Structure 1
Amino acid sequence: MEAPRPAVIVVSGHLTRDAVPRLCADLEDLLAGSPTATTVHCDLSGVVHPDLTTIEAIARLSLTARRMGAPGLRLCNTPPELRALLDLVGLGEAESAPCPTSHPPPDGPGSRTAGTSGPRPGSSGGP
């Protein structure tokens, strides 16, 4: 029997407050569609200009994962600027892990996906 694969949500671009609820909804959809996923990996490699909104998004994604039955969120590919901000606000101990390679990397700043390739509103890469 194959071990369950973790769910992977990719966060990239510069996050706005308006985008955070949609990101959490994407995670809920991802977990509802992957009932065997026991962990959630959050690939942060494409995050640009992290700020407190980025920290809020990570915290809300973690709460969403727990509410959906996952043990929490594992951060992966965290840029140094974001890692420093996590340390500054006291979340530096957030579990970090390498991301599974089951999903392609994001197209670049401005695309934020939860297992899909569609751009999400609130990113900096739109018209």
Structure 2
Amino acid sequence: MSSAGPAGLPDVDAQTPAVLVLPGPVAREEVAGLCADVRSLLQAGPAAVVVCDVGGLGPPGLAAVDLLARLQLAARRAGGRIRLRDPDPALPALLDLVGLAFEVEGQPEEREPPLGVQEAVEPGDAAR
């Protein structure tokens, strides 16, 4: 007699981030509930990332910046972070303008170069 194993692939499921879909413009009254959703998604699973699908937010503005800043703060307080999915092309630029850094799906992470790596000097470069 054989018994069925657990459903899904445990290693993959443990790495898969939760997804929070923001379907449209968010009213100020909804922000606290969305922050609570982010906290509960981080506490419910082993993943430390919540993917926020922001494709439906519409044109970026200060309301979207405020919402995302609050969601990121809620995620950090819960020990995680958020990653943006399908943002309007202007949204990352606006977030960068106000000094907020967010990961965006499909973009490589920005990291420091490894220690000990030297830049090559081209012949003819002026000495510093």
Between Structure 1 and Structure 2, the one with more helix by share is 2
Taking structure 2 as the reference length, what is the TM-score of the superposition? 0.64
Please tell me whether residue 9 in structure 1 is matched to residue 17 in structure 2: no
Say whether residues 1:87 and 2:75 are aligned partners.
no
Asked which structure has the greater RCO (Cα within 8 Å, sep 6+), the reply is 1
Root-mean-square deviation (CA), in Å? 1.8
User: Post-superposition shift, 1:40?
Assistant: 1.7
The 2-side partners of 1:48 and 1:23 are apart by: 17
Corresponding residue of 1:96: 104
Residue equivalent to 2:33: 22
Separation in structure 2 between the aligned mates of residue 85 and residue 53 of structure 1, nearest angstrom: 12
Q: For the Cα contact (< 8 Å) 1:14–1:50, is it kept in 2?
A: no
**C-alpha deviations, 1:68-105, integer Å up to 9, x for none?**
121x21112111232332233233x421114xxxxxxx
- 1:12–1:48 Cα contact (<8 Å) kept: no
**Aligned residue number for residue 112 of structure 1:** none
| Poorly superposed stretches of 4+, deviation over 6 Å | none
1:1-127 alignment, distance < 5 Å: 2-3=11-12, 4=14, 5-34=16-45, 36-70=46-80, 72-91=81-100, 93-98=101-106
Aligned identity (percent) is: 43
Shift in Å at residue 46 of structure 1?
1.1
Unaligned runs of 5+ in 1: 99-127
Larger radius of gyration: 2
Superposed CA offset, 1:24-71 (max 9, x none): 11112222322x11222111111113321211111111111111121x
Aligned-partner Cα distance in 2 for 1:15–1:50:
12
